[in-house]
Structure 1
């Protein structure tokens, strides 16, 4: 496979699969900025609220936290877990599979 074809395939994979983390440079150096989906500003507010509530539950082990303070603890935990699933970079993992396959092709089937 020619270098141009390899470069083109790698760039295609990068464009398709590297979607969650974007490289940035700031005053303190290089870092990555992540993204996740929310339906609205209200959804974002509820996510932050649920994170705080779940953290409070974890610290208190449900002792001393009243039902009035956190009325539906199970719902809050579920929402935090659903948002955590969005943080798993599935597309990036598919990129690794594509790169691995490309390496195999370049090496004639040997890794």
Structure 2
């Protein structure tokens, strides 16, 4: 299964995720969200796996106007805004097959790393 890390080059937590998998000698694809947004399908798949759209929002973002903007929108509009505004997303978003995490999730990543090494 392929491992993907979605984030930005400036995000410290995204760098930690990359380092985590590099240190274990595991291959991954890095996708810079400032260059390419998640597709609708990818976004919805991640949101569903992590427990909904709310779980993907970085409520500590410095973009307070952006956060206020999404609070008063219907779900479909919120999704579009979040896909286009990576600064409002909790990163890194790490996908392993149909599984996903948002933010730092080293405990889960350790399980995935073991699965990758065992060839599952």
* TM-score of the pair, normalised by structure 1: 0.25
Q: Where is the helix percentage greater, Structure 1 or Structure 2?
A: 1
Larger Cα Rg: Structure 1 or Structure 2? 1
* TM-score of the pair, normalised by structure 2: 0.24
